[in-house]
Amino acid sequence: MNALIDTGLLLDYLRGDERAARALRDCAHRSITVATWLEVMRASPPDRREATRAFLRTFERLSISESSTDEAMRLSFAHPGLSAQRAVNWANAIVNQLVFMTTDPTGCSPAPRDVLQPYVGTVPSGAPTPRRRSTNGL
């Protein structure tokens, strides 16, 4: 699958969540937007920034084009609960013919076929918390 990965899934991966690692392994081609790159880098602890930057280099980084902002505006009007950042990411996925992979499809309802939620963003009951510091990054 060719996918544009949302911020939450990357943060889960960097925090050691195996569900996120499985979701990323299922992608033949992985992309992120410049907005996601910035969010992930801002969340990175100072001592992990270079490792996080190296990890993010394994993704194609998509710029925000005029066609993607037009699509983001269309999505925002069609889905009033959609945040601007999520609209930009989803629009970039659509414009680049990618699946939008997110752990939080808030505002993307009803779930369209181009949005994939590989797992729910919260930890299942009884599972170890992924919010621990890991060797992956955060």
What would the pLDDT profile of 10-39 be if each residue is shown by its tens digit?
999 999 999 999 999 999 999 999 999 999
CATH class of 2-116: alpha beta
Residue for token pair 């299922």 = 26
Q: Report the distance separating Cα 32 and Cα 53, nearest Å.
A: 13
What would the pLDDT profile of 56-90 be if each residue is shown by its tens digit?
999 999 999 999 999 999 999 999 889 998 999 99
Q: Report the distance separating Cα 61 and Cα 75, nearest Å.
A: 21
What would the pLDDT profile of 91-121 be if each residue is shown by its tens digit?
999 999 999 999 887 777 665 778 999 987 5
Domain spans, the chain: 2-116
Strands (E), the chain: 2-5, 29-33, 60-62, 99-101, 115-116
Which bin fits 30, alpha (ψ -120 to 50), beta or left (φ > 0)? beta
